[in-house]
Amino acid sequence: MSSGNPPPPVDAAVFRTLMGRWSTGVSVVTARDGPLDAGLTVNAFLSVSLTPPSVLVSLTRDADTTPVIERTGLFAVNFLAADQRPLSERFARQVPSAEKFAGLSFHRGSTGVALVDGTLGSVECRVAQRVPTYDHILLVGEVVHEELGRDAPPLLFFRSAYADAEGSDRLHLGTREKR
């Protein structure tokens, strides 16, 4: 049944502000195609199911890492700790991937993808489903290997800025900063 007038169009600026009020963790998604390591900072991540263990990431088509995952069908999600903010900044830059990995401390997972050292942990995934959605691609990954890392405070993202948790019950919001 019609409820009368159509709703007014969504205000893009309000929508962006509102989405910024959804706080998240921060990860670095890595992939590898032969000698090429690639990676980008991602906060559009969620755990999908326990049986089978699966996760979802939303990647922009514009990112250099996206076609690497599309080619290989493999990726890893590395959960950043609060003291790894520089890594988040590094992997959010659109620079050649060699620059992102220069001097980075990492080890190879069971699929050969780079797993960043010093994180809270990593999951290695095989792409189970891909759903092209507007300018992004939603990738559902079945977890093939998991590693627990440090039991440390997480890096958080809120209001387009980094935040970090002190202990487990106090949030310190960073200064406003566009990503």
How far apart, in whole angstroms, are the C-alpha atoms of residue 119 and residue 149?
Answer: 6
CA–centroid distance for 179 within its chain? 14
Nearest CA to 156 out of 147, 166, 146 is that of 166
Per CB under 6 A, the list member of 92, 127, 140, 144 interacting with ligand FMN is 92
How far apart, in whole angstroms, are the C-alpha atoms of residue 57 and residue 80?
Answer: 15
**Per-residue contact string for residues 32-51; x = within reach of ligand FMN by CB under 6 A:** ------x-xxxxx-------
Per CB under 6 A, the list member of 59, 76, 77, 116 interacting with ligand FMN is 59
Can you tell me which residue has the tokens 């989405």?
Answer: 19
Q: How far is the CB of 133 from ligand FMN (least distance, A)?
A: 12
Three-state secondary-structure class, residue 125:
strand
Q: Does 58 bind ligand FMN (CB under 6 A)?
A: yes
Q: Does 158 bind ligand FMN (CB under 6 A)?
A: no
Q: Does 71 bind ligand FMN (CB under 6 A)?
A: no
Q: Does 72 bind ligand FMN (CB under 6 A)?
A: no
Per CB under 6 A, the list member of 60, 112, 126, 149 interacting with ligand FMN is 60
Nearest CA to 40 out of 55, 58, 16 is that of 58
Question: Looking at residue 93, what DSSP letter applies?
Answer: S
Q: How far is the CB of 91 from ligand FMN (least distance, A)?
A: 6
Can you tell me which residue has the tokens 């080619």?
Answer: 71
How many other CB atoms sit within 10 Å of the CB of residue 161?
15
Q: Pick the stretch among 48-56, 61-69, 104-112, 168-176 that binds ligand FMN (CB under 6 A).
A: 61-69
Q: Would you tell me which residues interact with ligand FMN (CB under 6 A)?
A: 26, 38, 40-44, 58-60, 63-65, 88, 91-94, 97, 157, 179
